[in-house]
Amino acid sequence: MTDFLSLITSGTGLRAAFVTRIPSLAVDCERDEAMRRLRDAHTKAVQELGFSTAQWSRAEQVHGNDVAIAEKSPTILAPDGLPIIAVVDGLICGEAGHVLAIYVADCGAIWLADRATGAYGLLHSGKVGTEKNILQVALHAMQQNFGTQPKDVVGVLGPCIRPPHYEIDFAATIRAQAEQAGVADFHDCGICTGSDLQAFYSYRKELGRTGRLMALLGRPLPL
């Protein structure tokens, strides 16, 4: 299911994961309650990737295009009792010892890795984030803060809702944005969240009462 992340992890020293639906967990509820119910499983996934909860940075996600530097940004407490970086939909990082997280349930997770500088990023790009080109915003922020050049970046778009289950093909727009930005190697996994409710949560198909899939990307501290 997560073979599509090999482009991000191969030769970069990064670790990545995509936590899919947890069949045994009932999440027919509003987002805040669903996130509380998912907390233990998501914490375990972070630890299994080789990070502590203290190294875990999460974006609040407000369907915008603001991007924060994970290692330099203050946090607030989310309803699930864990810290988040407020009012951002993307996180970038230039240091080891951090794991980034965003949540999706039809929107697209975008993993970014700079093979030259070692910087990395993780974005939440659905209909609105794509319209606001959060990918370009993130690439610009990585360039300004870490010296990233788009030609050195590899990117992956994860599972998201697609036609015919959604009338807007924002995945196609993201692919075009990556090409226009000069991203060297961009891969769309092509998987639709709306087509497989056994594997994925889908906000649209489940009328908003569902869980969230978690995307992770981090660089461990050297041994």
Q: Rounded to whole angstroms, how far apart are CA atoms 47 and 222?
A: 16
| 31 φ/ψ angles, rounded to the nearest 5 degrees | -55, -50
pLDDT tens across 212-221, in order?
Answer: 999 999 999 9
Q: Using a pLDDT cut of 70, give the percent of the chain over it.
A: 100
Q: Answer whether residue 82 shows pLDDT above 90.
A: yes
Q: Answer whether residue 150 shows pLDDT above 90.
A: yes
According to DSSP, the β-strands at 56-58 and 15-19 are unpaired
Residues 6+ apart with CB under 8 A from 44: none
Mean pLDDT of the chain: 97
The pLDDT score that the predictor gives to residue 41 is 97
Q: Rounded to whole angstroms, how far apart are CA atoms 77 and 65?
A: 21
The pLDDT score that the predictor gives to residue 1 is 59
The pLDDT score that the predictor gives to residue 223 is 77
Q: Which CATH superfamily is domain 3-203 in?
A: CNF1/YfiH-like putative cysteine hydrolases (3.60.140.10)
Describe the strand order of the beta sheet including 15-19 as a list of residue ranges.
15-19, 213-219, 98-104, 56-58
pLDDT tens across 30-53, in order?
Answer: 999 999 999 999 999 999 999 999
Domain assignments of the chain as residue spans, ordered by start: 3-203
The pLDDT score that the predictor gives to residue 184 is 87
Q: Rounded to whole angstroms, how far apart are CA atoms 52 and 49?
A: 9
**Are 146 and 117 a contacting pair, CB within 8 Å?**
yes
Q: Rounded to whole angstroms, how far apart are CA atoms 87 and 60?
A: 6
pLDDT band at 2 (very low <50, low <70, confident <90, very high): confident
The pLDDT score that the predictor gives to residue 109 is 98
Q: Rounded to whole angstroms, how far apart are CA atoms 81 and 219?
A: 24
pTM comes to 0.97
pLDDT tens across 192-211, in order?
Answer: 999 999 999 999 999 999 99
Mean pLDDT of 81-91: 97
Residues 6+ apart with CB under 8 A from 223: none
